[in-house]
Structure 1
């Protein structure tokens, strides 16, 4: 090995040593000069969260204000007179109808009169529209009796249209409440264990959960008001469960009623019910995940397998055609 090789080796060792020393100094010294970005990031996140919360609270307050205005409004005079004249409240409505309207978010007498009015007007409107369509656009060779029967069938759908609309509203409202209820229970548990009363906990949770579920925030606010004004607190809890129609809410309300009756700690009952609702939501997610492969079977058979069949068999078919040609 010559002098040049030795010099090159020493040069490489010197460069590597310098790089190692520089890396060590950089590792030891840079943390001293680095700024702690965690606090600034947390502050930014907190400010953004407050902005979102303020925006959602403003929207919630606006929607609540609109709801209160609609609840104070009485039904239109013409609608009320027609419903009372035909005695539709006795013929078409019962306590179950009023409960369904409450579960859909419609409270007061105004929505009830509107619902009953829609049940008698909707079939007539659909019948007239269908009758005009069948006589104006369908071939004249069809018998008039067939056209009238088709119009009557469309009009008959209008009898069930208001009920279908209310049921759809109930389903969407319950889905929103069911998704946000475990988080609301956790917040309620934190409030109760921090020393708040159940009324203050309901009010605080209603303010916070409005970002996630406006229907649940409305129900909690109404329940808080009933806890303050009703003579029996048990009735306020029962009304809360009845208005929502969600099994998780019913279980929690029964636990709260028993805790107040027997003097057991409310925090313990809320903790148990919160864990139970968390497990139920996880089980529902697992159930949906398990049902996904069967649901994908039909689309795969209809859309993927024919394409795969043509891709695999296409060249062979083309060769056979070319051979016989």
Structure 2
């Protein structure tokens, strides 16, 4: 240590300054190497992952309609029109994978087979006195014909349950989009007024709505991913409207296409359309509220009329029964 300090006075000021600068650079390099990415790098990495699910981005390069081959010829519809209708229902439910239709029919087929197999297996265990008591009571005194009828009913229930579930999911997703679309238009209008481009605004709104309204976020980001992949903006917008199955989305696609075609202000058009959508949503709420008295009157009438008839006609019926019974 004494030797080191004895050498320092022999160094020139310039050399000491260069050593100090070198030490600062080495320390900074070590800090950035071992401290990990900063906040700006994390934010940039987050922004690069916002154009939808990576799996769905890969599916952009894959054809959606496939001619059934092999075993799937017996599962999938033969005509392209029927396959397109089912594929549209799956896309409106949020299943946009090219293999969604194949998986749906496969699940329905397996469910239709598994249901009766479970019923017949339980009946066989009941005949062998190996079925647990909580389940044995359902098969008590059941004949083989009754078990076969129950298995047939199970086939129908298991076969149509996926279709019913799909229709309910489509309705729930459409309701989410209808309720959140006016807010999405307000955010788009604010973003365009702030000076952002339409594509950038749509991407930003999709990021913001990821937690609030996931269906709109998925559709917006998927639309922008298609545009970045080279698809025409108008086709991507109308395809998004077709996927959602909502009239407001179709009107939105027409509005943006006409604004870009004629060069009008997108911000003012979005502002007017968002206001119109809020008024339409308010009118729908008023309509639902006005329907409540009619629905309640039907329920009250069905509940009160039998009791009213029993009170008014009961004594008369009893008197006639006494008179003519004698």
With the length of structure 2 as denominator, give the TM-score of the two structures: 0.63
1:186 aligned partner: 186
Structure 1, unmatched stretches of 5+, are: 1-56, 74-81, 308-325
Q: Following TM superposition, by how much is the alpha carbon of 1:145 offset from its aligned partner in structure 2, in angstroms?
A: 2.9
| Contact residue 227 and residue 236 of structure 1 kept, 8 A | yes
2:102 is the counterpart of 1:130: no
Distance 1:195 1:166, change over 3 A: same
2:109 aligned partner: 120
Query: 1:165, 1:72 → 2: CA distance?
Result: 27
Query: 1:238, 1:259 → 2: CA distance?
Result: 14
Q: Following TM superposition, by how much is the alpha carbon of 1:83 offset from its aligned partner in structure 2, in angstroms?
A: 7.7
2:161 aligned partner: 161
Query: 1:227, 1:64 → 2: CA distance?
Result: 14
Structure 2, unmatched stretches of 5+, are: 1-42, 60-67, 127-137, 308-326
| Contact residue 241 and residue 249 of structure 1 kept, 8 A | yes
User: 1:89-117: CA deviations, max 9, x gaps?
Assistant: 44486112222221111122343332121
Query: 1:173, 1:185 → 2: CA distance?
Result: 18
Distance 1:145 1:64, change over 3 A: farther
User: 1:59-89: CA deviations, max 9, x gaps?
Assistant: x99x98995458869xxxxxxxx98424234
Q: Following TM superposition, by how much is the alpha carbon of 1:229 offset from its aligned partner in structure 2, in angstroms?
A: 2.6
| Contact residue 83 and residue 116 of structure 1 kept, 8 A | no
Count of matched residue positions in the alignment of Structure 1 and Structure 2? 240
Q: Following TM superposition, by how much is the alpha carbon of 1:253 offset from its aligned partner in structure 2, in angstroms?
A: 0.6
Query: 2:51, 2:270 → 1: CA distance?
Result: 31
2:201 is the counterpart of 1:201: yes
Distance 1:71 1:267, change over 3 A: closer
Query: 1:115, 1:208 → 2: CA distance?
Result: 31
| Contact residue 103 and residue 245 of structure 1 kept, 8 A | yes
With the length of structure 1 as denominator, give the TM-score of the two structures: 0.63
Paired residue secondary structure (2:211): coil
**Larger helix proportion, structure 1 or 2?**
1
Paired residue secondary structure (1:238): helix
Task: Note the 1:1-325 alignment, pairs <5 A.
Answer: 68=54, 84-87=70-73, 88-91=75-78, 94-132=83-121, 136=126, 137-140=138-141, 142=143, 144-297=144-297, 300=300
Paired residue secondary structure (1:94): helix
| Contact residue 206 and residue 220 of structure 2 kept, 8 A | yes
Paired residue secondary structure (1:212): coil
